[in-house]
Every structure is written in structure tokens, then in C-alpha cells.
Amino acid sequence: MGSTETSTTSSPSFLKPLITIDASVSLFLHTLFKPILPIFLLLLLEYSSDFQFFFPVSLSLFLTSPSFSSLSIPFILGHLIDLSLIGLIKLTFRRTRHHYKPNIGHASRVMFSATLFHLIYQNHEGLISDFILRWVKFEPGLFLFSVGVWAILTVISRVLLERHFLSDILAGAFVR
């Protein structure tokens, strides 16, 4: 995209035409929308989905709250699986990357988290509602809606910050 900083590996040749189109569309979206949204908001979204933030929070919930430990295990395992799966996908496709921070804000991680919040809420509504009302002080439906908006905005921020290409975020959402 706009930066000259890339990795040295390249993608398989059969993907090159798609990659060219993807890079062009991603650059167009970056150029069109970046001036509209404040950079601090985009960076806040980026760090909110950071593995180095999310994993310790999940682990802390598991260790400090016995009543919620069974609910935090899917988050812990999911983050570890996400890290492994995304690493495998990157190794398989070897796409030349623009500048980005490798452990910050994966689209798949934020979509996984939002999806898991909704699935856990559907299967453990009373327990999750009590947790949300006790710790977050929001109506559970409003909280889950907010989680969905956070996930979508975070995914969009990945393209606007030139951390991911459009196909990256679509693939990350599809993986989840």
C-alpha cells in the first residue's frame, strides 16, 4: 500500500493478479476514509484487539473468578488457536506485507471475540447477564451490540491504518 516497508517473502504467482486488485482497492479505501476518522481512534481500536492485551485479560478472568473460569477457557483457547491458525495462513500464502505490527490487532481475533461473546451469551444468558450487569453496568443487549460495533470498527481500522489489505480482513472474518 502506501509504505515501502515490506517483508522479503512473496506470494505464489497464481495469486498476483488478485493481490494487485486487492492492494489497489485497499489503498483506495485507505485514501478515501483515513482523513475522516481520527488517527487516535484507529490506534485505540488497533490496541484493543492486541493479543498482548486480550490474552492476559482472559487469563486473569480465568484465574481470579472461579464462577467465570469455565467461560474464560474458550477465550484462552480461542486466542491460542487464532495465533496458530493465522501464523499458518501467513506461512502458506507468504504475501508481501506493507508495514504493520505483527502481533497487533488481527481481524480474525476481534471477530472471534465478538462471535464468542454472542455465542456464550446465547448459551449462558443468565450467567453472562449477571456478569455484564455487575461489571460493565450496561444492559446486556446494549453491551453485545457494542461488542459487535467494536469488532466491525476494529476490522475497518486495519485497512485504514494500512496494517491489513481488504482480503486480509475478509479472510479473518471468514475464519471466524
* Per-residue pLDDT in tens (0 to 9) along the chain, 176 residues: 444 344 445 556 777 788 888 888 888 888 887 777 788 888 888 888 777 777 787 788 778 777 667 777 888 888 888 888 877 877 887 766 655 555 556 778 888 888 888 887 777 666 666 666 666 666 777 878 988 998 888 888 888 888 888 888 887 777 66
**The amino acid at 95:** R
- 140/78 Cα distance (integer angstroms): 22
How high is the pLDDT of residue 175? Answer: 67
Q: Is the pTM of this model over 0.75?
A: no
* Block residue for cell numbers 508481501: 96
Name residues whose C-beta falls within 8 Å of residue 175's C-beta, 6 or more positions apart in sequence.
Answer: 85, 86, 89, 108, 111, 112
